[in-house]
Amino acid sequence: MAEFVVNSARGRGVLIATILASGMAFLAGTAVSIALPTIQSFFNSTITGIQWVVNAYVLALAALILISGSLGDRFGRKRIFCYGIIVFIAGSLLSGFAKTIAQLIAFQAFQGVGAAMMIPGSLAIINSCFAESHRGHAIGLWAGFSGGIAAFGPLLGGFLVETFSWPAVFFINVPIGLLALFVTLQFVPESRNPSARRLDLRGTFFIALGLSGTAYGLIMGPVNGWLSPLVLTSLIGGILAFIFFVILERKIPEPVVPFSIFRNPLVTGANLVTLLLYFALNGMIFFLVLNFQQVQGYSPIFAGLALLPPIILITFLSGPAGSLADKIGPRLQMIVGPFIVALGMALLIIPGTDANYYTHFMPGLILFGGGMAFVIAPLTKSALSVPQKFSGVASGVNNAVSRIAALMAIAVLGAIMISVFTGHFTRAVRVSSLDREEKIQLLSQVTKLGGIVIPDAFGQIARIEAQRAVKESFVSGFRWVMGISAFLAFLSAVIAAVTIRNTKKFG
């Protein structure tokens, strides 16, 4: 098919369509994250409940995104992309009308199905439509402007939550999705892999089973006990499913993950960096939003504003960073970027219960945003360094890796957070001056973390003591989460240094 340049009319149309669709998905993530404390309070949910609100979406996305790339290669990338937009819009509407936390979780899983059909199509369409010499610039613009839409997510989400309540953060996807669908139908050409023949349904089943089992076990372990038969069965079953997946993929002629793409060290290194870096990123964002609202006492709008600095940096610097990667290759940026991210996350270990945003949070967030802006475009382009016929699969693999990282981050770091919080909070309550009944009422809510509700019957002194115990316990766990995230971001820089090399064909 014809290869466009960024400044052509068709090229701009393709970019607008993919930016709107991806931006909608990014907007959903940033806006919903701001709404999580309100959702937890509205449904009187434990931390496990809001973990599943996020992970149901991510689980469906991660499990199906691989075969969705293959669906696009086989049946047409534009067609599957459009279907994904439609399902995503429907899932958003249903989520806004949810009456229970269980319904919201189910509808978020349905929305994740639409995202799985839509997201890999964005990069696959860009990869197949643009000439290689313009691809890094196009990816940078895609990342930057998609992030530009997402940049409104925290502020818009905070405004919608305070003005209309939490369902509005889901309804906002509808007009954006309809516009993305219209532009796609008008400007995006159809493309497919003519040699694609067979779908790997068995591989998809095992990856879905593996992700579901491990995620369920990790999330429910701290609640039901790690030796619970259901938790053990889920974890062991998930691990076995992953093993069967790898064995199967190496034997069948047309796997959902063709391991041949990993012969290119750029692809292997980029996906390893993606796994660690996005694990750290998603864990940080999830618990930082809870910290802002439940510990620091920020309103949803101010919490949204607090997240703007890194998103603005990603929005405006990703495009230039992509152009730079076209000229000098990916290696330098893929080493320096994650290192800066790690430094920013390390600074977020410092804030306590009454931290000043401008001196304690903003410096770390600025470093985090700058590092991510520096690395996104070369990371993504390196992951797509495959023959064009595999562009849909490569995009699906890289997106799946980032979503698996998000899924595991919230599950693993959530387990660590619950463990640290529970230990600290239990000790603090037991040595407090609260009476026996007050202690029982607080300890019975320990799985809510910062969302613990202090009963109205508590006196002023008891209320202050209970609030201090909640906030200090949350900060104790939060510091562990930030420390682990910083280490993983640093490790991704080390892996990039070992695996990523500049090539003449990169630009």
Residue 479's alpha-carbon distances to 37, 116, 121, 353, in angstroms, are: 19, 33, 37, 11
- Confidence (pLDDT) at 150: 67
Task: Give CATH superfamily name and number for 9-190+256-421+475-499.
Answer: MFS general substrate transporter like domains (1.20.1250.20)
CB atoms within 10 A of CB 64: 25
Q: What does the DSSP assignment read for 241-255?
A: HHHHHHHHHHHSSS-
Could you give the residue ranges of the DSSP H alpha helices within 252-390? 265-290, 300-306, 308-328, 331-347, 362-383
Secondary structure (DSSP) of 189-255: PP---TT-----HHHHHHHHHHHHHHHHHHHHHHHH-TT-HHHHHHHHHHHHHHHHHHHHHHHSSS-
Q: What is the pLDDT along the chain (507 residues), one digit of tens a residue?
A: 556 655 566 777 788 888 888 888 877 777 888 888 899 889 988 888 888 888 888 888 878 877 777 787 778 888 889 999 999 999 999 999 999 999 999 999 999 899 888 877 787 788 777 766 666 777 777 766 776 676 677 788 888 888 888 999 999 899 989 999 998 888 777 877 666 657 778 888 888 888 888 888 888 887 778 888 888 998 999 899 989 888 888 888 777 777 777 888 888 888 999 999 999 988 898 899 889 998 999 998 888 889 888 878 887 887 788 788 778 888 888 899 999 999 999 999 999 888 999 999 999 999 999 999 888 888 887 887 777 667 667 777 887 788 888 888 888 898 899 889 999 999 998 888 888 888 888 888 888 888 888 888 888 888 889 899 999 999 999 999 999 999 999 999 999 999 887 765 444
Residue whose tokens read 């818009």: 156
The 10 Å Cβ neighbour count of residue 252 is: 13
User: What is the spatial distance between Cα 491 and Cα 493, in angstroms, rounded to a whole number?
Assistant: 5
Whole-angstrom distance, CA of residue 462 vs CA of residue 96: 37
Q: Which is nearest to 127 in space by CA: 332, 398, 503?
A: 398
What's the pLDDT score for residue 255?
78
Structural tokens at position 238:
């998930």
Contact yes or no for 32/160 (Cβ under 8 A): no
* Structural domain spans, the chain: 9-190+256-421+475-499, 200-255
Structure tokens belonging to residue 279 = 């694990």
What angle (nearest 5°) sits at the alpha carbon of residue 136, between those of residues 134 and 137? 65
Q: Determine the residue type at 395.
A: S
pLDDT of residue 288: 92
Which letter, b or e, does each residue of 414-442 get, where b requires 16 or more Cβ atoms within 10 Å of its Cβ? bbbbbebbbebbbebbeebebeeebeebb
Q: Under a CB-based contact definition with an 8 Å cutoff, are residues 325 and 377 in contact?
A: yes
Q: Which residue is listed with tokens 């985090």?
A: 368
Residue 4 phi, psi (nearest 5): -90, 160
| Distance between CA atoms of residues 158 and 82, nearest Å | 29
- For 481, half-sphere exposure in the C-beta direction (CA atoms, 13 angstrom radius) is 32
E strand or H helix at 176: helix 173-187
Quickly tell me which residue has 């409940």 as its tokens: 49
Question: In which region does residue 329 sit, left (phi positive, over 0), alpha (psi from -120 to 50) or beta (all else)?
Answer: left
